[in-house]
Chains A and B, each alone.
Chain A
Amino acid sequence: MLMMVFDVCSHGLLVLVLAPLFVGVIARVKARFAGRTGPSLLQPFFDLRRLFFKNSVYSRTTTWVFRAAPLVVFAAMLALSLLVPLGISRAPAAFTGDILWLAAMLGLARFFMITAALDTGFSMEGMGASREAFFACLGELALFMNFITLALLAHGFSLSGMIGVDAPLSWEHAGPALLLVAASLFIVLLAENCRIPVDDPDTHLELTMIHEVMILEHSGIDLAYMLYGAAVKLLLFAAILVPLVIPFRTGYPPVDMGIFLGGVTGMAVLVGVVESVMARLRLNRVRNFLLIAFVLAFFAFIVGLWRM
């Protein structure tokens, strides 16, 4: 019992520390690409600290939903993090079929985010909410197709089994399908976390943006929860993707952990590079972008079936 509590705490701590760092690395890469030195890697921590010590301002039209949303989002993300292994830190709450729990947590967070946005009665937030809902539909389709493929490859329905914490999927056997799943999941990562080809996380008050416009009315500690939740989500997606791309274990925990951390850093760099070299897609093309993710996952599924 005590062991379990310790596991959960250490795992949670790891998530909470790594998430803002991940965002920091992306910011640093983007700055380098733009020819600037960029902020410190710890800058997201400072931002969060500043926001945590500020009070929130609420509009008179909002109800309890608006106030509950940031906490629900953050809590859902933390609950989700218990399913995702981080290097040698096993998922404390892995069980068969936990991908459904993962989807439920993502859905819960999204539901509250969207209702909170609608709750403000601000037309732009409503617009962002509708876009979020639409893209999430397509994104989840691709996400689930990927999970189905992974379940097929790993013969198991637990996320930890799928991404091969204990028994990594072999590239010899599952390589071709894994390649496609990785590409597809990366697109889903960009879309779910509102990164650049889909949404621009740096701009505010622009008609085309999605995520940032939805948290426009949140301030102070609420905003901090929202941002922290988003950072955790990004980290968790990267943590799911990394073991798929680097599917081998040396057996020495420190080395494995190093490889994992290196992989996550690499993923952050990759996201930063993508954000720097690509332009945001026109809104009606985002749909096709997500469809590509789905088709790739479907292709991976077929290849997986072919190799059965």
Chain B
Amino acid sequence: MILPALIFVPFTGALLAFLPLKNAARCFLFLAVALVHAGLVASCWRQLPAAQFDGALVLDPLGLIMLSIDTFLFLSLAVYMIGYFEHEQRNNRNFMACLLFVLSAMSVVAMSYHMGLLWVSVETTTLLSAPLISFHRTPQSLEATWKYLLICSVGIALALLGTFFLAIAAHDVHTLLLPSLLNGAPLLLVNWLKLSVIFLFVGYGCKMGLAPTHSWKPEAYGQATGMVVVVMAGALTQCAFLALLRVSQICHKTGLTEFYGSILILSAVLSLIVPALFVLGEKNIKRAFAYSSIEHMGLLVLGLGLGGAGVFGALFHMINNALAKVIMFFTAGSIAQKYGSARVGDVRGVLHVYPVTGVFLIVGFLAGTGMFPFATFHSELMILNAAITSKHYVLAVVVVACLALVFVGIGRIILEAAQGEASAPVLEKKENIFMNTAIGLGAAGLFVLGVWLPVPLERVIRAAAALVGA
């Protein structure tokens, strides 16, 4: 009964959030839910639970990785928000409820083994995350919400069309359950399957924020609070990636790996080049990090497209990316709260006023751009390695050049914000212990993974990569 519990615990928490409580009380409710959820996920690591609902809900290694990422993010979020809501007067009822609903829906995404259910749950996460962006209800944040809603809705609608095409391709299988599709792979109609793969990729790619449908990302990440962005960049976009991984499972069984891989690589190159160009002129820390997020999505897709060792790299990068996002966007969010802005002109000399936050800002920059000794370095190297071993030399050069450009672009503004003459913050000059604990949690995790990959984790990633056929 663990699988339904994973869904219903956050769901109940979301309903409880509607009770007339104080902001702080809701924070502790959130922490309690996150702890229970984490405990449930931890028990899944000992043994994968049995399938539920006629095989529609199954937790496999892929889902387990995703679920662990979700639960870690929410745990650190629970710690962080205790600090954040010390300085926030606005009622957080809807905010908390939406976050918990999103966690519930994301749990469904992680374990849905039915392509229709997968669509429904991904769509639900999109819709419920939209109100989170405009928490402060400024006109700019509303515009960002609108952009996010529209682009993602169109994307998700295309994914629905793709799911229906898949249903046509599976005309002789009579179901969209993943195991049946994989076992009945020879029965699938290849033409319809190809069409379906294209639509599913474009649809879920919109949700991931791959170029050229990335335009909602800088807006939404720039306007939403750091907490929301961590959920979006670390969990929601990677949920969409999980959907792409499921598609890849089907392609692997039907011999469409080449076809799918070429689409993935093409889109990955675009998603690497576009942020590399746009980040150079950016002045806003959050928006710059948003471009870095597009880049990371490109890397994930690239790893999947290359296959072989690249898949392992991509799966490892999923975890690292989530951890890096915790450091980057929690720090950016805490700076934005302290200074009332995230623009470099307004934010200066963070190191002098808030030494810890300043250090985390630099750590976040290094982790986000994939520097040693953080684990992002290793996973990026794995993906690069896969490109070279599969003789994609030009591709490897492009990847390195883009990563270097993003490094320069982000480094320029981060160093300017961290050092130099201090500008006056809006809040009092005090570090917040809860916020820093949450960020430290992410940094420590990323550092540990950078120097030591635990055996159980490696085994699960290997098993997950084997599912995709690597």
Check whether chain A touches chain B (CB < 8 angstroms).
Answer: no
By a beta-carbon cutoff of 8 Å, the part of chain A in contact with chain B is none
Q: What is the interface of chain B, defined by CB distance below 8 A to chain A?
A: none
